[in-house]
Amino acid sequence: MLYELTQVTKRYTQRRKQVDALAGIDLTIDEGEFLAIQGSTGSGKTTLLQMLGAMDRPSGGHLLFEGRDLAKLGEGDLSELRSHSFGFIFQAFNLIPTLTAQENVETALVPWHVGAAERRGKAEEALAGVGLADRAKHIPSELSGGEQQRVAIARALVRSPRVIFADEPTGNLDERTRDDIIGLLEQLWRERGQTLIVVTHDTWVASRASRRIWLDRGRIEEQEAPDDDSDLDARFLAQAGVAAGVK
């Protein structure tokens, strides 16, 4: 079990108004799942992703990641988790406009204090992994939306995180590019065995996931049972094939 959430709540207070963005979430997530979180605007999807990704702490309940309660960890431990265990992909790509694709990917390795040559090598490899080796020297404004999102995916993957979080990763893309990007995420998920958690209100995107949950006003309104093993078996066989050098 990678995650175990019991009665997780998040209350935001703005001026005198209180919003219960999460109103008691019970959820478990296994290592290697591809989980889609669906729900209408304001239902708490981004908030849930931020809690899972240690970007913020819950107001109540328990949120265990590998047995450690993220609600109780200090800022140093949370920051360590963010930089070593988690990768994030956003709707608006969030690339630095003045840096090249290569440099944008390298920024993810800055907290690691690795040497420049290693940083360059890892970033090149990550860009090649998303099919952008030949665009490495371009700045974001010289790239299409789909290419910018590929750079952002490379930036998330370059640290080989345990969990990849994507918040509406195809929300700014046209339908064909959406299919490319989800196809790429799905391929990377199959090849690498990382856990992938995607927030989306796009039913087609969610249909690619191995499991879906629906949020409504901060609660899980509906959830699919964890997948039977058929899909995971296919992945493990594929990975075993890769490991054994079988084409």
- Which residues bind to ligand ADP, rule: CB under 6 A? 12, 14, 19, 21, 39, 41-47
Amino acid in the structure at residue 11: R
| Residue 104 contact partner, candidates Mg ion, ligand ADP, none, CB within 5 to 8 A by sort of partner | none
| Residue 39 contact partner, candidates ligand ADP, Mg ion, none, CB within 5 to 8 A by sort of partner | ligand ADP
Buried b (16+ CB within 10 A) or exposed e, 77-101: ebeebbbebbbbbbbebebeeeebb
Considering the complex, what minimum distance in angstroms separates the CB of residue 158 from ligand ADP? 26
User: 3-class secondary structure for 102-135?
Assistant: HHHHHHCCHHHCCCHHHHHHHHHHHHHHCCCHHH
Q: Which residue, 38 or 148, is less far from Mg ion as judged by CB?
A: 38
Return the sign of the alpha-carbon dihedral for residues 180, 181, 184, 185.
negative
Considering the complex, what minimum distance in angstroms separates the CB of residue 168 from ligand ADP? 8
The angle, 0 to 180 degrees and rounded to 10, between the axes of the packed helices 175-192 and 145-157 is 20
Considering the complex, what minimum distance in angstroms separates the CB of residue 45 from ligand ADP? 3
| Residue 163 contact partner, candidates ligand ADP, Mg ion, none, CB within 5 to 8 A by sort of partner | none
Residue 91 interacts with Mg ion (CB under 5 A): yes or no: no
**Tokens standing for 215?**
């949020």
Q: Which residue, 142 or 221, is less far from ligand ADP as judged by CB?
A: 221
Among 43, 46, 148, 200, contact with Mg ion (rule: CB under 5 A): 46
